Amino acid sequence: MKEIYVVTDIEADGPCPGINSMLSLASVAIDEVGNELEYFSINLLPMEGGVQDPDTMEFWKKNPKAWEATQKDQCDPARAMQSYGSWARELFSKYGKPVFVGEPVCFDFSFVYYYLLRYGQGKPFSHSGLDVKTLAMAALKCNYSEAVKRNFPKRWFNPKSPHTHLAIDDAREQAYIFIQILKELRDIQ
């Protein structure tokens, strides 16, 4: 079965789903060579009972434009995840099996998975996801802790895609990096 990659970035008010709230969710569905097939982007209202993490809120104070962007056109989390779950399932029928991709996947996937389950949308990505950092580690032949963007070669970055902390911009940036790494790894084989 053909696979497509759903490169996802989230913004949150803390590090832990279920305690902290996801503020923004954006995914870019791409094919195996990096063509954008579709995208999804939404801002969410905080979860009922969610708390803001003080360290994360310090980060947001240093990035006020990005914070302001997360506060626009906010949607109820249940409605947001219903839309997202439907979108992800439609990808399967249109293009093939959607594979979740994140950087780091543990953070983004944990929020998306939690929210999908909490709001009754099941597991459109099953229990798996690809981590861009792990692929970078393999391509750079380095330790995981060294596989950070400041150590990535410039050729992996799209100069037209700055890192803005806006979920849709960062998802597109990560999609570009992911495809560049994937191409290099496939050329090695």
Mean pLDDT of the chain: 95
Structure tokens at 14: 């803390």
Q: Please report, for the domain that includes residue 104, its CATH number.
A: 3.30.420.10
Give Cα separations from 8 to 51, 55, 89, 147 (angstroms): 23, 23, 15, 19
Q: What is the pTM of this model?
A: 0.94
pLDDT tens digits, residue range 119-177? 999 999 998 899 999 999 999 999 999 999 999 999 999 988 778 889 999 999 999 99
Segments forming the whole domain that contains residue 145 = 3-188
Number of domains in the chain: 1
pLDDT tens digits, residue range 112-131? 999 999 999 999 999 889 99
The pLDDT of residue 188 is 64
